[in-house]
Structure formats: structure tokens, C-alpha cells
Amino acid sequence: MSHDPNCIFCKIAEGKIPSKKVYEDEEILAFHDIHPWAPVHFLLIPKEHVTSMAHVEDKHAAMLGRLMSLVPKLAKQEGCRPYPEGGFRLVCNTGDDGGQEVPHLHFHVIGGPRPWLKG
């Protein structure tokens, strides 16, 4: 599994920088965003360093499938109301034009009662 020693999310995944964990297994980490936009706002990342969605390869398919299947369970666990009245937003910014700030693949799960700070 590759890591970038200069990547903040790799450092969080390795436990070198503390985070408020939502979920963790051998491949995936979920943790609360330090600047939340909504009552529920956490990130899901692969522990392997993948720079962005533009860098995803066939070998990542199983991990991404597992990651996506965790989203509704973790959203509910963290306080999102059930569908259809409730729900959540799933965002993956990719590259400069996509608004990606940290060059490590990550998904924002954002939800809870509106209005939100952003979006």
C-alpha cells in the first residue's frame, strides 16, 4: 500500500495526526471534517495514497465499492435523517478546477437539517 510522507491524509491514516474517527478498517478511514459545513460532515478516504478520482484504476474497484457501501450506514450513524425526508450529499472534488484542496482521494458526506453553512 502506497503512502505519501508529505500528505496530510496519509499522516491521519497512519495515526501521526489525530482525528475524530467515524470508522476504520484495513483499507478505509472515515473521520470528521475539521471545518464542517453542516451538522453532519465527515470524510471517507482510502488508506492507500490515491491522489484523486482522476488517478483511480481498475485495482481500486473493490475498495471503492466497499467505501460507497459504507456511506449510507455511516451517514445514518452520524445523524443524517432517513431517506427521503432526510438524506445527505456525497462530494468528491477532483483537481484544481474541481475544487480539490488535499491531493488524496476523499469523499465528503454532508447532511443534517438545513440550512448549512455552504451548499
Active site residue 106: yes
Q: Is residue 1 part of a domain?
A: no
Q: Is residue 67 part of a domain?
A: yes
Nearest to 105 by CA among 59, 69, 60, 70: 60
Domain count, the chain: 1
Burial class (CB in 10 A: 0-12, 13-18, 19+), 38: buried
CATH number of the domain within which 24 lies? 3.30.428.10
Q: Is residue 2 part of a domain?
A: no
Which one from 41, 104, 106, 108 is the annotated catalytic residue?
A: 106
Looking at residue 119, what is its pLDDT? 65
Q: What domain range includes position 25?
A: 8-111
pTM: 0.95
Write the pLDDT tens digit of every residue in 8-35. Answer: 999 999 999 999 999 999 999 999 999 9
Q: Is residue 117 part of a domain?
A: no
Question: Rounded distance, CA 110 to CA 96, Å?
Answer: 21
